[in-house]
Amino acid sequence: MAATLIIGASGTVGSELANLLEAGGHAVRRASSRVPTASDQVQLDLLHPQGQLAAAFEGVDRLFLLSPPGHVDQHVLLAPLIEQAKALGLKKVVLMSAMGADADDAAPLRQAELHLARSGLAWNVIRPNWFMQNFNTFWLQGIRQHGRIFLPVGRAKGSFIDARDIAAAAARLLHSHDLDNQAFDLTGAESLDHDEVAAILSRVAGRTITFEDITPEAMRAALVDAHLPPAYADFLVLILGFFKAGYAERTTDAVQRITGQAPRRFEAYAEDYRAAWV
């Protein structure tokens, strides 16, 4: 049975996608930069892919790819994968980008989208909004240590999406062709500001959690202190600025259209991840 190669299979979306596909009876090859520890795993370091691509793609007929966090040269990292998929004539390629990536054709992530669209392969691009799971991962330290969400976003709202809904959409697109050659902006069902998010987390966790608006400079300093590369810290501050400007507020029906199921609401996410904040 030909397999689906999942780039970033140890990540938030990739791990959920691999589990969904396997539960549906599909073979999976899990790629990550780590040394393999199981027969369904393969090492593929996107920073140094030479000599690894052929082995990673062996026996593969579908591909899910994303750019690893921490890097802003996404097209440079993803182009060799798209070219390998093209050379092998894969049946389907799904690229996870980010909502708003299509605003500037010169942006590296948009260049990756266009590269795939021009490849001649059957493709989809999914552009999720900010993940709900950021609150139990990237923003977790401030919540645990101080009971606060520290972000430079003011009262702007975001239609946060559960990573499980992103994975469900990717799984459906990888193994179907009725929606081929389209891009989808994926959002949750509602738009919330961070005061509303904090109120939900407080109610679910049974403790007081608040939101504190900070400056972009303070955010950048915190990211660099957390050992993120300065260029990537600058990128995150930039896109958080887009959030503050209101670009993350809109909702779409894309999850419903693709999967047939409405996306999870934030309260349901918070209940499922309650242990992170208590």
pTM across the whole model: 0.97
Angle at alpha carbon of residue 171, lines to 167 and 139, rounded to 5°: 10
- The angle formed by the CA atoms of residues 18, 24 and 29, to the nearest 5 degrees, is 35
The CATH-assigned architecture of domain 3-129+161-188+250-261 is: 3-Layer(aba) Sandwich (3.40)
Overall average pLDDT of the 28-43 stretch: 91
Rounded to a whole number of angstroms, the CA Rg of the chain reads: 19
Query: Quick one: pLDDT at residue 69?
Result: 86
Q: What is the pLDDT of residue 119?
A: 98
Q: Would you put residue 120 in left (φ > 0), alpha (ψ -120 to 50) or beta?
A: left
- The mean of the pLDDT values for the chain is 96
Label residue 34 by pLDDT band (50, 70, 90). confident
**pLDDT at residue number 33:** 85
Residues 225-271 have pLDDT tens digits of 999 999 999 999 999 999 999 999 999 999 999 999 999 999 999 99
- pLDDT at residue 160 in the model: 98
Rounded to 10 deg, the angle between the 74-88 and 108-117 helix axes is 10
pLDDT, residue 271, reads 98
Please say whether the beta carbons of 118 and 135 come within 8 A.
Answer: no
Chain CA centroid to CA 51, Å: 27
Task: Tell me whether strands 182-186 and 123-128 are parallel, antiparallel or unpaired.
Answer: parallel
Neighbours of 278 (CB within 10 A): 9
The per-residue pLDDT for range 111-163, each reduced to its tens digit, is 999 999 999 999 999 999 999 999 999 999 999 999 999 999 999 999 999 99
Q: What is the DSSP string of 46-84?
A: TTS-TTTHHHHHTTEEEEEE-PPTT-S-HHHHHHHHHHH
For the record, the structure tokens of 111 come out as 């260049």
More confident call, 210 vs 38: 210
Convert the pLDDT of each residue in 167-217 to its tens digit: 999 999 999 999 999 999 999 999 999 999 999 999 999 999 999 999 999
Among 148, 259, 253, residue whose Cα is nearest residue 197: 148
Count of CB atoms situated within 10 Å of the CB of 66? 24
Axis crossing angle, helix 230-244 with helix 216-225, rounded to the nearest 10: 140
Task: Round to whole Å and give the CA distance between 98 and 107.
Answer: 12
pLDDT recorded at residue 50: 82
H/E stretch holding 185: strand 182-186
CB 222 within 8 A of CB 136: no
The domain spans of the chain are: 3-129+161-188+250-261
51-86: pLDDT as tens digits: 899 999 999 999 999 998 889 999 999 999 999 999
**Taking a C-beta distance cutoff of 8 angstroms, is the pair 162, 132 a contact?**
yes
**pLDDT of 103 higher than 90:** yes
- Interhelix angle 12-23/163-174, nearest 10 degrees: 50
What percent of the chain clears pLDDT 90, i.e. is strictly above it?
A: 93
Locus of tokens 């082995």: 55
Nearest to 7, CA basis, from 89, 100, 69, 88: 69
- At 35, the pLDDT band (50, 70, 90 cuts) reads confident
Q: pLDDT value at position 266?
A: 98
